[in-house]
Structure 1
């Protein structure tokens, strides 16, 4: 299926599987409370892999064992601005009892590497390492300078990773305007209506919804549980949460989502009903996931704390809510949240980051599209907005636009988003090798 590329052969970057397996066996669990092992061991491994290829690497560690790796690779052009490639080394927790294979095993089974981080995102880190090591052996160079950042703490707030790099290593990022990172470029296999052959949709992320993690507090009059009640903090908070969770946020189609829906119409040979997008998203399965959470804002209560004893009315009740908002809607979003909460509940931010966007009509997106098609003649690249958030938000604060472009060819029935933070996360080694070839094409032509 793959088209040959100049300078590539069957064994090009053949170490991608070994690199990925090694990384999967290093515990970098980040539960968000600094109690985990940190990223130090993985960072040292990455730095060693780079230095074996003659690439000087710098470790930066704002807190004990919360370590990131920074490097720079000279490109052929002295005129083009540098491109940032960033990825994270930490992973979310995994319960071994729920998995078919241990989440730290790095097992190779039926062509797939198993382990927490296989898709999110140690597989992508391995692709980048494999590619630049292959370049070092062959004497090839990227089109422009590349800044590499393998980061800590993405699975929390990024305080010990991307935010630290932006604050303390701005010199390395000088003149960088664009970046590539996770959560895009993966394949979704579909059979268009009336077609004799499959097509593969490759969504490339061109933005993210904004993040508003909020802590809510209700205050009332404490007392005995047998009393008449009335000024009850728990009741006030629960009523507010019910209004918030039950609110139907209006559908808002951003330009990128408009383009996505039009592209999917063309691929599928149908017209997606814009008046019933939530129903259409469910009907379309994995393709529907590309727009299901990015056509409206959301507010999901996730934590609830109040009281200490059944016969004691507490004077305070607290909750936490994960809020996400579309580009350009932040003020209206917060106004609506405050109206729904009412006067008896106050809110404060745990974390608030603006929505980000990149140009889906520009040369970078076009080059990614061409790189995918160079390796897969059935590729149908499309733009999409990510429902969650990544380190892209930190880099956007200093004017760097990030594309989600971590190309991987997946088995037809493999559910990419189902593996993100899910059980039995795994990635095909052949899919990683495909990703190396696509990245080679992109980075040596753009």
Structure 2
């Protein structure tokens, strides 16, 4: 194997091959699982002399991990992690086969191209380069490809933290998805400026189920205890509730930095003009201005002429740090006396400092490839496997570096249709990530 091969030379191929392995996670235990993708990752690592380990939470739910010893074994190790599963895709909605991994119009298309087989490919390409060239990083690297992130990590990161914490022995910091990508903003001088969003915080998760109880009966008979009506009223109250805004440090720093860059002022009451500078990424930022609650699933009734005695809905709630108990209490109050609220899954909110040696190295790695880049922190409205790692005292960041074209509406493609990532962005990310791993 040529020792001149570099991460950017094979990252596109790896991304395509990973996308072609269907790892759809339906959240109910069905689906193909991650075993085939894990087998692929293991083969790629072994080809360059590394010896990864696999961990199977349940049949087919496989996580892969490998530790690369660093020069200073006394320093805290860095965990670089991704997840192998993806959300499902309805092929009829796509203009390409979502699991074809096709290259078209300068992009790799397919489910996972954005979330997050692009970063998985960067990780694999960089770690293969380390193995191939015999590089000794400054500190230990623990590289992990998790199962089950798209269903809360129960069979992936949480399984590993609960059952195999030894994998993360000595790890103090971690990097993963949904950060490090660029948005192009117009600065105060009218010039376009690439600004990279480094994820330093993420909201907590509360997946709730509303269950309304009532009196069953014939569809032709008036019924003032209709479970579906009670559920609908509860949903309406939740949907109409205005969650109060709160600007946590990462959000305020982002808004202040964006204001300084663009010359656009903002206030607690009005930041619409400022957010417009973020393009499609503004959705993620809007989701971090307050707690949120979105109804995502409904289940009620079983025949047209039968009033059921029970109906249910699932609500996806995301809360800012310190808001968990208040959010759940508010949902219970809004649901009302005839609707029970149960917690299906909950996970913590995170916040990390936008400073320190690792942040400095991430910024330097970006600016080496893009010298005029601005870098600002932001809070993710969703969640990552960094939540599970935080239970071991590991500080996590989102850093999947991508230099993106100004006209690509990237952020809405997370879990979206026709998901795709530019090939040039993949190569850029491989160079940046490789530099970080050699200097961290």
Cα deviation digits, residues 362-409 of structure 1 (max 9, x gap): 332222112111110121111111111121211122222210000011
TM-score of the superposed pair, with normalisation by structure 1: 0.94
User: How far 1:12 moved relative to its partner?
Assistant: 5.2
- Which of 118, 121, 128 pairs up with 1:123? 118
Query: Are 2:269 and 1:275 equivalent residues in the alignment?
Result: yes
CA contact (8 A) 2:281 2:410 kept: no
- Which of 159, 162, 173 pairs up with 2:157? 162
Query: Are 2:80 and 1:90 equivalent residues in the alignment?
Result: no
Query: Are 2:45 and 1:50 equivalent residues in the alignment?
Result: yes
Question: 1:265-344 alignment to 2 at 5 Å?
Answer: 265-277=259-271, 280-281=274-275, 284-344=278-338
Q: Secondary structure at the match of 2:360?
A: helix
Q: Per the alignment, do residues 141 and 160 of structure 1 end up closer, same or farther by CA in structure 2, a change over 3 Å counting?
A: same
- Which of 398, 401, 404 pairs up with 1:404? 398
Whole-angstrom distance in 2 between the partners of 1:102 and 1:179 = 33
TM-score of the superposed pair, with normalisation by structure 2: 0.95
CA contact (8 A) 2:8 2:426 kept: no
Q: Secondary structure at the match of 1:29?
A: coil
Question: 1:14-413 alignment to 2 at 5 Å?
Answer: 14-195=9-190, 197-277=191-271, 280-281=274-275, 284-413=278-407
Unaligned runs of 5+ in 1: 1-7
Whole-angstrom distance in 2 between the partners of 1:108 and 1:315 = 52
Q: Per the alignment, do residues 261 and 401 of structure 1 end up closer, same or farther by CA in structure 2, a change over 3 Å counting?
A: same
1:433 aligned residue: 427
Aligned-residue CA RMSD (Å): 1.8
Whole-angstrom distance in 2 between the partners of 1:279 and 1:241 = 31
Q: Per the alignment, do residues 282 and 373 of structure 1 end up closer, same or farther by CA in structure 2, a change over 3 Å counting?
A: closer
User: How far 1:279 moved relative to its partner?
Assistant: 6.7
Cα deviation digits, residues 13-64 of structure 1 (max 9, x gap): 4111111111111111111122211111110110111111111111111211
Whole-angstrom distance in 2 between the partners of 1:385 and 1:338 = 26
Whole-angstrom distance in 1 between the partners of 2:321 and 2:270 = 22
CA contact (8 A) 1:278 1:292 kept: no
Q: Secondary structure at the match of 2:295?
A: strand
User: How far 1:284 moved relative to its partner?
Assistant: 4.7
User: How far 1:98 moved relative to its partner?
Assistant: 2.0
User: How far 1:141 moved relative to its partner?
Assistant: 2.4
Q: Secondary structure at the match of 1:286?
A: helix
Unaligned runs of 5+ in 2: none
Whole-angstrom distance in 1 between the partners of 2:28 and 2:175 = 28
Q: Per the alignment, do residues 284 and 203 of structure 1 end up closer, same or farther by CA in structure 2, a change over 3 Å counting?
A: closer
